[in-house]
Amino acid sequence: MPVERFRLRRTGGDGFLEVMTVDGGAVDCDEPPPVLAAPFLPTALAGLVRLATGVRPVPEGLLPRERPVVFFANHGSHLDAPLIWAALPADWRAVTRPVAARDYWEEGAVRRFVSRRLLRAVLIERRKISARNNPLAPLREALGRGESLILFPEGTRSPDGTVGAFRSGLHHLVRDRPEVPLVPVFLDNLSRILPKGELLPVPFIANLFVGAAIRMRPDEPKDAFLERARAAVVALGTAPQS
């Protein structure tokens, strides 16, 4: 039986390693490298995000006992995913990965460091999608490894804070894993803290509300499931909060 041999090659000046075959061909690998930054840095980042936004940590009792889960939320800012991640308890942060656009988070050394080394984000393609770079594949692999995900089914940031129609990605992701709890999250004020096109946050208080987990029902039509999931997020934004 033939054996494929590999070697590592350092790429550019960012310190990342690329897996190469011995004949020089690159191996496609969506999994980010291990967190090589100092262990305290993810904790420090979470504290900084909470301090900057005023968001309160999510109590452990609001989260499902089963893992992994998929957190799904409305989308208004590039700060959304880091905020949800930062608000989770430390043991949840260690095994929860935001799903983020590769073209945004790999632009520049700082974003690349934060997304790959601190958040351990699953970076997916938004353009020129093919069977080779199917964005659902790394998400399914992460769930298979027991890692929870943070994603935004609208697929784009809302310009006015309204929760838009959910795209079909959430349905396609969980239809083969209907047992995975889906945790709705509503975010408020994030689009004011980091408006579209801005680089620095504006001092506003963010709110994050977590709802009861839902699951896909047997034989539930796609459109009905997506509308039910969207309604779960919208309800968190309209319900009285203590």
Per the prediction, the chain carries an average pLDDT of 80
Task: Write the single-letter amino acid at 95.
Answer: V
- Given pLDDT bands bounded at 50, 70 and 90, which one contains residue 78? confident
Q: Which residue has the higher pLDDT, 98 or 12?
A: 98
What is the pLDDT at residue 54?
86
Q: CA nearest 35: which of 120, 98, 104?
A: 120
What is the pLDDT at residue 157?
78
What is the pLDDT at residue 170?
96
Q: At 163, is the secondary structure helix, strand, or coil?
A: coil
Q: CA nearest 106: which of 97, 118, 115?
A: 115
> pLDDT digits over 28-71, tens only?
444 544 444 567 899 999 999 998 888 899 999 999 999 999 99
> pLDDT digits over 178-198, tens only?
999 999 999 986 555 555 555
Structural tokens at position 224: 């009905």
What is the pLDDT at residue 131?
67
What is the distance between the alpha carbons of residues 203 and 17, in angstroms, rounded to a whole number?
38
What is the pLDDT at residue 25?
41
Q: CA nearest 185: which of 104, 47, 69, 90?
A: 69
The residues, ordered by sequence, that sit 6+ positions from 160 with a Cβ below 8 Å of its Cβ are none
What is the distance between the alpha carbons of residues 84 and 112, in angstroms, rounded to a whole number?
19
Put residue 74 in one of left, alpha, beta given phi > 0 → left and psi -120 to 50 → alpha: beta
Structural tokens at position 3: 């054996």
Helix ranges, 58-114 (H): 80-87, 90-93, 102-105, 109-113
> pLDDT digits over 136-186, tens only?
999 999 999 999 999 999 988 777 778 989 999 999 999 989 999 999 999
Element (H or E) spanning 148, and its range?
Answer: strand 148-151
> pLDDT digits over 94-152, tens only?
999 999 888 888 888 988 998 888 999 999 887 777 667 788 999 999 999 999 999 99
What is the distance between the alpha carbons of residues 211 and 66, in angstroms, rounded to a whole number?
15
